[in-house]
Structure formats: structure tokens, C-alpha cells
Amino acid sequence: MTVWDIASHTGGNMDQFAIHCGNFLDEFYRASNAQRRLMVEREPEGHPGFPDYVLPFLAAMVHKLCNDYGVECPSWVHKEQYVLKEPHFWLDAKGNLRLVLLAESPVEFKIRNLFVTANTLSRA
């Protein structure tokens, strides 16, 4: 599975987004660095019905994974289109939870105006 596949398989069905991200992460964590590079090189495409945070999330995810695993980061993740104009808080966070997300979000997400949990890319 590739990051492009996440977007392609999700299409307009956002109920499937987390499942496809999880499947991608499982494969990424088992892969060699050469395989990982292939998994992230193709830029995902938007689909009707995608919320505005989906492609920035995928860019942030790839950026973080590449940084963490010493994989060459593809240039597409640095495109301006993957930075949200307004902040997006995961879990529709309000109040104190927003403060937690502001503090613990990985920098690769923060620079895209996305605020997630510190373990957002963890797998059980």
C-alpha cells in the first residue's frame, strides 16, 4: 500500500480513511527503507467529499515518518497547498483538549496547522 492508495481507496468514503491509514502504517513499519521510499513517493490526489484536512494530514504523516525513519522525504509534502489556512483539531477537540493537542502535536503536523495527539501514528 502507498500513501496514494490511502486517498484513492478512501475516495469519498471518509469512514474508511482511518482504516486505510492504519493498513498503510502497518506496512510502513514492517518495510525496509527502500520499500518505505516507494510507499511515499507518489503524491495523493484529492477526491470530492474529502474534508480540507485530509491531504495536509497525509503530507504531515509522510513528513513525520520520513523524518523518524531516515527516509528521503518526497518534495510534494512541502507544497503550500498542504498547509491549512485555519487550524484543525483532531477529535473535534474543545477546551483543555485543544491545549493538550497544541502542546503535543508533532512539528510536522503543527506546521500544517493540524493538531493531533502525540501518538497519532502509533499502532497497537
Residue 123: inside a domain, yes or no? no
d(CA 50, CA 11): 8
d(CA 57, CA 46): 12
Q: How many CB atoms within 10 Å of residue 64?
A: 19
Sorting pLDDT into bands at 50, 70 and 90, what band is 63? Answer: very high
Residue 121: inside a domain, yes or no? no
- What cell was used for 61? 504523516
Q: What is the residue whose three cell numbers read 493537542?
A: 101
Question: What is the number of structural domains in the chain?
Answer: 1
Residue 29: inside a domain, yes or no? yes
Residue 120: inside a domain, yes or no? no
- What cell was used for 77? 509534502
Residue 124: inside a domain, yes or no? no
User: Whole-prediction pTM value?
Assistant: 0.94
Phi, then psi, of 115 in degrees rounded to 5: -125, 115
Residue 96: inside a domain, yes or no? yes
Residue 21: inside a domain, yes or no? yes
Residues 6+ apart with CB under 8 A from 103: none
Q: What is the pLDDT of residue 8?
A: 94
| Residue 52: domain span | 3-115
Residue 107: inside a domain, yes or no? yes
Sorting pLDDT into bands at 50, 70 and 90, what band is 124? Answer: confident
Sorting pLDDT into bands at 50, 70 and 90, what band is 48? Answer: confident
